[in-house]
């Protein structure tokens, strides 16, 4: 959530950032924010002034009562009761205005970093680098949704029977591949200095608002309506919320957490060949890295996280590229996002497998996540997170890119976790 003072002090910069995001009616919304903030401040000033006046009269009443001037005291009491009614009315207006201001701020996305390119869609994203060679597959190459049937390792029909479309059942070597990837990703994160967290996979409304999924992505989240709890779309939500309403010390940075969870997304409105098979699911497994940083070092942390995720892809021997997302394709809470895409040789297309983002103080302001500087001043922290990695499209790429006439070869780094080197 943007700070009102940031909008007021940097109005043109904020407006330009929102326009880069193609945010509708950006100028009108920002003016509305400032108008509500002015109203809130004026109401608060009037309330405080009347409250001070009421307090002075109360002291005068006490003095008059002690002097035995009861009749004069009663007259002032009548007057102070009128002031108290005005104070109560102003308090109601203040609360209403503050709530209205908060709800509007919840709808405003983060301001993009200056390096974010202009654009409206994925076609406008900037390719930062590419790595690895695209494998040459046999003429009878098959996409992963055919390979999983051939080797009986993932069953979509059975998942549909149990839960519905988008909830696959992993079997045999397919299940072992899932477990191997999760353990590999966690072990690599621990080597890189991340603290492992096993969080709840249900979160409350405050947690959803804290990291920005609510109200922006409410329609994409599964909700347990009786208790108003939400199934998490990513481990970012519960792990980052560990630090909600927390004041850290400057010496605590950097804080690096990693967690594996299943993730749940309704993916409403998704259809077509590009979401076939493992390309898009309602339930999937993911290892997430979360980084809390001093504001002066958060972009160094972002580059470090990007290189870390790239290292995982290199160890898995997968060709990949890194994109800097344009303003129109960025997530609601992000200031700068790198997407990592792996090339699927059978589908002959790039598949996004990770997003690594710096949110600057946007989430921290919602979370009230602060730290004390050495001179004891309080400041908002910066939060970052990244997929390291999401499993479905990694699995799809491993299956497709490594298929041979005799089976599917597994990446060497996974063999110790799997106990086999080929599916076939």
Between CA 156 and CA 87 the distance in angstroms is 63
Is 366 annotated in some ligand binding site?
Answer: no
Instruction: Say whether 300 counts as a known binding-site residue.
Output: no
On whether 60 is known to bind a ligand per the annotation, the reply is no
257 annotated to a ligand binding site: no
Rounded Cα–Cα distance for residues 178 and 176 (Å): 5
The number of C-alpha atoms within 13 Å of 224 and in the hemisphere containing its C-beta is: 11
The owner of tokens 């519960």 is 238
Radius of gyration of the chain (CA): 27
Q: Is residue 169 marked as binding? A: no
Cα(238)–Cα(361) distance, rounded to whole angstroms?
A: 18
Task: Identify the CA nearest to 342 among candidates 285, 407, 279.
Answer: 279
Was 355 annotated as part of a binding site?
Answer: yes
Q: Tokens 């690594």 map to which residue?
A: 356
Q: What is the DSSP string of 359-381?
A: -TTHHHHHHT-EEE-TTS-EEE-
* Residue that the structure tokens 């799809």 belong to: 396
Cα dihedral 110, 116, 122, 128 in deg (nearest 10) = -140
Residue 236 labelled as part of a binding site: no
Consult the annotation and say whether 385 binds a ligand: yes
- 294 is written with which tokens? 């001093």
Determine whether the annotation assigns residue 353 to a binding site: yes
At 213 the three-state DSSP class reads coil
Angle, nearest 10°, between helix axes 298-315 and 173-191?
A: 140
Q: Is 267 annotated as a binding residue?
A: yes
Query: Residues at the annotated binding site?
Result: 234, 265-267, 288, 352-355, 385
Query: Residues at the annotated binding site for ATP?
Result: 265-267, 352-355
Query: Residues at the annotated binding site for L-serine?
Result: 234, 265, 288, 385
């Amino acid at each position: 959530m943007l700070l009102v003072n940031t909008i007021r002090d940097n109005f043109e910069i904020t407006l330009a950032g929102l326009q880069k995001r193609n945010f509708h009616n950006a100028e009108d919304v920002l003016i509305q924010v400032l108008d509500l903030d002015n109203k809130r401040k004026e109401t608060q000033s009037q309330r405080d002034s009347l409250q001070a006046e009421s307090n002075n009269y109360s002291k005068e009443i006490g003095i008059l009562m002690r002097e035995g001037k009861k009749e004069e005291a009663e007259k002032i009491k009548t007057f102070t009761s009128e002031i108290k009614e005005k104070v109560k009315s102003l308090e109601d207006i203040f609360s209403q205005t503050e709530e209205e201001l908060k709800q509007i701020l919840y709808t405003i996305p983060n301001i993009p970093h200056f390096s974010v390119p202009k654009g409206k869609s994925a076609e406008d994203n900037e390719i930062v680098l590419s790595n690895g060679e695209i494998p040459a597959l046999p003429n009878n190459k098959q996409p992963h949704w055919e390979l999983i049937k051939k080797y009986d390792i993932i069953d979509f029909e059975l998942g549909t029977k149990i839960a519905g479309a988008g909830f696959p059942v992993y079997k045999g070597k397919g299940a072992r591949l899932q477990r191997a990837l999760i353990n590999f990703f966690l072990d690599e994160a621990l080597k890189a200095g991340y603290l492992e967290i096993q969080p709840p996979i249900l979160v409350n409304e405050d947690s959803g608002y804290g990291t920005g999924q609510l109200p922006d992505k409410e329609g994409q989240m599964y909700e347990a309506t009786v208790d108003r709890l939400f199934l998490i779309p990513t481990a970012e939500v519960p792990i980052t919320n560990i630090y909600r309403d927390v004041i850290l010390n400057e010496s605590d940075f950097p804080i690096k957490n990693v967690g594996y969870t299943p993730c749940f997304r309704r993916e409403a409105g998704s259809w077509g060949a590009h979401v076939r098979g493992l390309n898009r699911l309602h339930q999937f497994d993911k290892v997430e890295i979360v980084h809390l940083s001093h504001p002066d070092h958060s972009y160094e942390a972002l580059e470090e996280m990007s290189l870390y995720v790239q290292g995982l892809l290199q160890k898995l021997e997968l060709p990949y590229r890194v994109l800097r997302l344009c303003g129109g394709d960025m997530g609601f809470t992000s200031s700068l996002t790198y997407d990592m895409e792996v090339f699927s040789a059978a589908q002959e297309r790039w598949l996004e497998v990770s997003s690594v983002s710096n949110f600057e103080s946007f989430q921290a302001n919602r979370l009230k996540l602060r730290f004390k500087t050495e001179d004891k001043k309080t400041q908002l922290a910066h939060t970052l997170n990244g997929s390291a990695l999401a499993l479905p499209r990694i699995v799809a790429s491993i299956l497709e890119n490594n298929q041979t006439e005799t089976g599917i070869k597994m990446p060497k780094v996974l063999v110790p976790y799997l106990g086999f080197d080929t599916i076939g």
